[in-house]
Amino acid sequence: MSVLVGKKAPRFSAKAVVDGGDIVNNFSLDQFIGRKHVILFFYPKDFTFVCPTELHAFQERLPEFESKNVAIVACSTDTEESHWGWLQVPKKAGGIQGVTYPIIADTNKTIASNFDVLDGHYEYDDEGGLTAVGELVALRGLFLIDKEGIVQHQLVNSLSLGRSVDEAMRIVDALKFHEEHGEVCPANWHLGAQGLSESHTAVATYLASN
């Protein structure tokens, strides 16, 4: 698993469904450079069980993320037509109707591959035939990307483990606190708590070593 923290997020251009039903070409995160932080999260499949709980959970908190100048973007290896179809299905029927943030169609699986969250891989058998090992879908990867396009946080869950939107919000608050105040955030830091300055950190390091 590649660690992308501290590195430029892989660039891409792909089809996506935006505003709950409009299919656009050449969707890219470049539009947010210099303007917004981005949470890009990958999910395995449309028309499944855990995935809609995550997509709806991010939608429910979307106004709060937007108030912090953070864009939410989802991505899976399904087609844009599949995304569009799922968006027409009501929530009570297992659909994601009402989700308005962009959902990227990583049909060629290159985006998930470049972010190193593609589950499964290709290999050749003894006769030279190409085979797939495992299901080639995205793991539950989440990346917080700053305004400069640098990955500041990444989290990858297995297919069966849904993510915490509360934790995603906490890490957004922590990054923005650090950017605004220059202080670092200790364990279990939350919005409203104190940070640590470099002098505090130096004192703590000294005490721990003596």
What are the angstrom distances between the C-alpha of 42 and each of 124, 186, 206?
A: 27, 27, 41
Closest to 54 measured CA to CA, from 81, 62, 176, 20: 62
Query: Do 87 and 20 touch, CB atoms closer than 8 A?
Result: yes
Choose, from 51, 87, 103, 171, the residue flagged as catalytic.
51
- Please provide the average confidence, as pLDDT, over all residues in the chain: 92
Every domain of the chain and the residues it spans:
14-161, 164-210
Neighbours of 41 (CB within 10 A): 23
Closest to 15 measured CA to CA, from 80, 71, 76: 80
* Model pLDDT for residues 131-189, shown as the tens digit of each residue: 887 789 999 999 999 999 999 999 999 999 999 999 999 999 999 999 999 999 999 99
Distance in angstroms (rounded) separating the CA atoms of residues 208 and 173: 28
Query: Do 170 and 176 touch, CB atoms closer than 8 A?
Result: no
The domain defined by 14-161 folds into Glutaredoxin (3.40.30)
3-state SS of 27-44 is ECHHHHCCCCEEEEEECC
Grade residue 207 by pLDDT with cuts at 50, 70 and 90.
Answer: very low
Question: Average pLDDT, stretch 94-104?
Answer: 97
What are the angstrom distances between the C-alpha of 63 and each of 14, 69, 142?
A: 25, 10, 19
Is-catalytic flag, 51? yes
